[in-house]
Structure 1
Amino acid sequence: MSNQVLQTLGSYWPLLAFGCLLLRSLYRRYLHPLHTVPGPFLGSITSLWWLSVFLFGKEQYRKPILLHAQYGPIVRIRPNTVIIHDPKYFPEFFTWDKSDFFLAFRSHSTVIGHGGELDIELHNQKKRNVMGGFAMSQILKNEANMDKMVMRFLDRLDEKKNTIFDIGPWTQFATFDVATQMLFSEPVGFVKEGRDVDNVISSLHGLLSFVGVAGLHPWIAKILFHPRLFPLIGPKPTDKTGPGALHGFTYKQLDKRLAKKDSDSSPPDVFQWIMEHKDKEGQHMSRAMLEQEGVGMILAASDTTAATLRALILTISSNSRILNKLREQIDGADAKAALSTPPSYSELLAHVPYVELLFKEAQRAYPIVGIPLPKKAPKNGAHVSGHFLPGGTEVGLSQWAVGYNPNIWGEDVALFKPERWSEDLSHDPAAQRRRDQAEVWFSGGHTLCTGRNVALLEVYKITTQLFRTFNVEVVNNAQPWKVQAEVAMIHTDFFVKLTERKRSNGEDVQ
């Protein structure tokens, strides 16, 4: 009898499986606590829809812009995930725990840096042990070494003038060398070599691809970083490619830095501050934690900054009004011998303030993160844009959707207009508050980017010195680059031609 029942069930199993899927889909669409949140039908019943957008969508980083335009300020993109873009909810959003998406940012099963910590209180505790090394006052102590990296980059570009070349990888060579100089007092040498040394950058890009997929399906990271499985299947620092190679690279950089920790090397780098710092219990950071924090810094440091730099090269060189305004300030300062080579941070703020507006507008119009990075609604739930989100709901925001939200920036959001950042909104404090709350390009609140001061300082310097020295012609303005939108925006085939610049009086710029 039992065999007969099993045979009968076996013959109907496809129908039973279909019935279960149908019932689950009907529940998710019509009975799930998020069923009232608008969004695409497929997104409400399966996570595969958003995965397909991420993997196969054309310009998928712009998809949230279209979704918000169609469905409103809150959109359901997966059965238990929504995206939001009303800035009045952002301050609360940035106090929430991270979702399981961030498990993919980890690089070890038991030792977890602040970037991979989900609990916001633990994140804050660990972040306090590194953030002092990134304070602007600390970074400026090492400004001279950043200047050396900037000028090494400009010197290499000078060698390539009057030729057409892909400046895309060179921007990352520069930002990676600056990052490792500021972190460890030793650049990798990407700019000097003019290539991806030891395939570090390709390994980084492979890791970013993994983070995107594993973040959307956290079970992958849960298996990989399981304490018993990680030693068997996890990346090894001895790997020649992939995440393990990136870990190995970071550990070697740290080894070199630790070997000279007792020397009175000056000026101090970021890791000197971290190694000297004591936590609230009076303990120095362990070697294992130094490694994990180092991997997190390497992961975040170069791609994001290079993306902003490329955006500025494109927008400034393609807009004569903006270019002339920038050069008017540069040349005016040069006429008074007010700028060093490259300019110092204080000189830029005093004499080339336009570069700050350019930087902010580049971050708005060309955000550096290509996908929403979700947090988790608190245990008691949250009310957002007229909907109640139960505790545990994944809630993300798209930097691209925020940057192109006309309710924040006005109807001219498609226009690259640095002057919008100096507009006087004193007559409309609500509009000013929306804009202040919407500056999410470096994240916000408790998760504000640790290394933002390094990023803005190097971009200010490189941008100013580049257009001070060269004319930049983008070869194909209609399609200037190819875009790979991972966690960070990666641009390839960005071909330009540099020529030596002459001032209006006919003098060469030296």
Structure 2
Amino acid sequence: MLETFSNVWSPSTALYLLPVSVILVHAVPYLLDAQKIRQFPGPFIAKFSDAWLGYVSKNGHRSEDVHRMHLKYGPFVRIAPNHVSVADPDALSIVYAHGNGALKTEFYDAFVSIRRGVFNTRDRGDHTRKRKIISHIFSQKSVLEFEPQVRLYVGLLLKQWDRLYDMAAKGMSGTDGEGGWRGEGGRLWLDCLPWANYLSFDIVGDLAFGAPFGMLEAAKDSALVPKNPDQVMNSYGKDTPASEVLSIPAVKILNGRGEYSMAMGVLPAWWRPIARRLPWYSQGQKDVQTLAGIAIMAVAKRMATPTDRVDLLSKLQAGRDSEGNPMGREELTAEALTLLIAGSDTTSNSTCAILYQLARNRYAQERLHHELDEHLGAEDETVATGPQVKCLPYLDACINEALRIHSTSALGLPRVVPEGGITVRGQFFQEGTVLSVPSYSIHRDPSIWGEDVEDFRPERWLEGDSSAMHRCLNIFSVGPRACLGRNLAMMELQVIVASIMRRYDIVLEDPDFNLDTREGFLRKPLACPIGIKRRDLL
């Protein structure tokens, strides 16, 4: 008997059964078609496996690749065995609607560190509680309170660029800022992307943690983290939350964290513990821990020294749920980390994309200069104020148009169809099916934006009724899980862009330069070399 069993389960038999088992695991669900989505076209491998979506996500161009599939197959594309991408503007208000019962998928579990925050919690009740505590800090009244800090760091950026401009005018060059700088042809030439990173990180550091990271002053991607984050977290309530600290490249680590979490998120949940053991994911795990360390140390330092300062963290501390309870220490730190991630990378990516389009499209820059000169004048005040830029139609048109083309959150955010199903564009989807609506594709729908969808043309926002365009501009998502910080984000972009463009004339270093990107969870420019010249405002 034992001899017979040994012959049946020989190594050669196991080698034969392994590929057969793999095939069956993927083929049987396709043949059973429990969700009734076999009819939808898409990449062949995506019908059976998450491998296609995992590959394009790892490759860093998921939104573009999914868009190409929509151009090939139409509005419905099956991008994974139980995931249909729907490129239809009307689907936004259906898939992400208030009250439809759709929940976030297991994809968001890959973005949890410290503990679940308002972004990655999947429980409806928990999200409602967190949103109640957090939403008030992004009201228009609160945003006005944050404006002085925003203007402070925009002014510091302009001061740094003026310093380099004056040095460049003397024929000097240097390495302040990644990629260096030089003077030539009456302009200062530099890469504006790292400077946008420094600016956004210092702003959110000040607002979320009570102190900037000091990147603008140092002209360097650098932030301090504890060598042992757990030691700092566990020291709360003691005299000194002391820990040895390290200086780390926070922007680089944030990008690594986004790519790692995206790679994990597209894998089936049962695969993730196995994948985390693979050597090429080890750096991503370190990035997650290191970024959490920034929040842990900053919150510990802030809470060890009470202050009456008004910022995001103080408002988080003051927030209460429906039962009058505040956030606990760990939850507060997790939300502060969410604010850091959501408020830094998005603002820097967007700032870079807007400056790129204005440098590339001189007619738009000249029209914006005219609007800024007319409404802001040539006052000694270098940095624009919120009230000054709040209602400038062409400024808003330039921002909207750049973010339509370069939406930093471009992928389709996945949702699970609730009990009772959902009907989209005449197609019924059963409970448990995963649906997403890709912003990248919606922002390129000719029925909304016209045939010139790939062109940067701010005027489209000022021609006739633009209500459909505003409804389909999905840069902050829609529904109950939409971005809470949209008021703050728009105020920042208005002040940043208006202040830079009132002070400088900008051009691309290479007129034929195209803004290359790489996508983790967010779609990030890789570089944007520009030449700036100080304008004569008198």
Bin the TM-score by the shorter chain: 0.7 to 0.9
2:408 paired residue number = 368
Q: 1:243 to 1:335 in 2, by over 3 A?
A: closer
**Which residue identity does 1:210 align to in structure 2?**
Y
1:429 paired residue number = none
User: Where do 1:270-349 residues align within 5 Å?
Assistant: 270-335=312-377, 340-349=381-390
Where in structure 2 are the equivalents of 1:46-85 lying within 5 Å? 46-56=49-59, 59-85=61-87
- Superposed structure 1 runs of 4+ greater than 6 Å apart: 233-236
Contact map agreement 1:98 1:120 (CA 8 A) in 2: no
Residue-by-residue CA offset, 1:137-174 (whole Å, 9 max, x unaligned): 10101211211111001111222334222221110110
SS of equivalent to 2:103: coil
* Matched residue, 1:166: 191
Sequence identity percentage: 24
* Secondary structure of the corresponding residue to residue 160 of structure 1: helix
Letter in 2 for 1:203: I
Report if the CA contact (8 A) 1:327-1:467 is conserved: yes
**Correspondence 1:73-472 to 2 at 5 A:** 73-95=75-97, 96-108=102-114, 111-161=115-165, 162=168, 163=182, 164-197=189-222, 198=247, 199-219=249-269, 223=273, 242-261=287-306, 263-265=307-309, 268-335=310-377, 340-350=381-391, 352-425=392-465, 432-433=467-468, 435-472=469-506
Say which SS state the counterpart of residue 506 (structure 2) adopts.
strand
TM-score (norm: length of structure 1): 0.87
Cα drift, residue 217 of structure 1? 1.4
> Match of 2:505, SS?
strand
Following the alignment from structure 2 to structure 1, what is the Cα–Cα distance between the partners of residues 30 and 471?
32
- Tell me the secondary structure at the aligned position of residue 530 of structure 2: strand
CA deviation profile, 1:265-300 (whole Å, cap 9, x unmatched): 3xx211222211221111121111101111111122
| Rounded Cα–Cα distance in structure 1 between residues aligned with 2:134 and 2:283 | 25
Q: Check conservation: 2:110, 2:264, Cα contact below 8 A.
A: yes
| 1:390 alignment partner AA | Q
Inter-partner Cα distance in structure 2 for 1:145 and 1:325: 29
Deviation at 1:414, TM superposition (A): 0.9
Q: Say if 2:350 and 2:403, in contact at 8 Å, map to a contact too.
A: yes
Q: CA deviation at 1:84?
A: 1.1
Match of residue 37, structure 1, among 40, 48, 53: 40
Task: Please give the secondary structure, in 2, of the residue aligned with 1:479.
Answer: coil
C-alpha distance in structure 1 between counterparts of 2:22 and 2:474, whole Å = 38
Structure-2 change in CA distance of 1:334 and 1:304 (3 Å) = closer
- Displacement after TM superposition at 1:416 (Å): 0.9
1:479 aligns with 2:509: no
Q: Residues 122 and 221 (structure 1 numbering): CA distance in 2 closer, same or farther, change over 3 Å?
A: farther
Q: Per the alignment, do residues 17 and 235 of structure 1 end up closer, same or farther by CA in structure 2, a change over 3 Å counting?
A: closer
Task: Give the conservation status (yes or no) of the 8 Å contact 2:260–2:520.
Answer: no
Q: Deviations over 1:29-57 (max 9, x none)?
A: 45412101121211111111111122236
> Are the counterparts in 1 of residues 94 and 424 from structure 2 also a CA contact under 8 Å?
no
CA distance in 1, matches of 2:216, 2:130: 33
Kept after mapping to 2: 8 A contact 1:53/1:60: yes
SS class of match (1:114)? coil
| Paired residues of 2:356 and 2:515 also in contact (CA < 8 A) | no
Contact 1:103–1:218 (Cα < 8 Å) also in 2:
no
Distance 1:220 1:18 in 2: 19
Distance 1:497 1:294, change over 3 A: same
Between the aligned partners of 1:464 and 1:135, the Cα distance in structure 2 is: 22
CA distance in 2, matches of 1:235, 1:134: 34
Q: Deviations for 1:446-472, whole angstroms, at most 9, x for unmatched residues? A: 111122222211111111111111121
Deviation at 1:25, TM superposition (A): 4.5
What is the alpha-carbon distance in structure 2 between the residues aligned to residue 247 and residue 25 of structure 1?
36
Shift of residue 211, structure 1, vs aligned partner: 0.9
For 1:295 and 1:235, how far apart are their aligned partners in 2? Answer: 19
Could you say what the CA RMSD is over the residues aligned between the two structures, in angstroms? 2.8
More deviation in 319-328 or 415-424?
415-424
8 Å CA contact 1:62, 1:400 repeated in 2: yes
Shift in Å, 1:243: 1.8
Conserved 8 A contact 2:26-2:48: yes
TM-superposed deviation, 1:223: 4.2
Contact 2:199/2:216 (CA < 8 Å) preserved in 1? Answer: yes
Aligned residues: 482
Give the Cα separation in 2 of the matches to 1:177 and 1:353.
28
Say which SS state the counterpart of residue 142 (structure 1) adopts: helix
Give deviations 1:358-414, integer Å, cap 9, x for gaps: 111111111102533311111332222333322222212222111111122221111
Equivalent position amino acid for 1:250 in 2: A
Q: Distance in 2 between matches of 1:48 and 1:256?
A: 43
Deviation at 1:87, TM superposition (A): 2.2
Residues 358 and 364 in structure 2, CA contact (< 8 A), matched pair in contact too: yes
Report the alpha carbon displacement of residue 264 of structure 1 after superposing the two structures with TM.
3.3
**Structure 2 vs 1, CA of residues 145 and 19 (structure 1 numbering), >3 Å: closer, same or farther?**
closer
CA spacing shift, 1:418–1:21, aligned 2, 3 Å: same
Deviates more, 1:269-278 or 1:158-167: 158-167
- Secondary structure, in 3 states, of the residue corresponding to 2:53? helix
Does the Cα contact within 8 Å between 1:28 and 1:35 map onto a contact in 2?
no
For structure 1, the 5+ residue unaligned runs are: 427-431
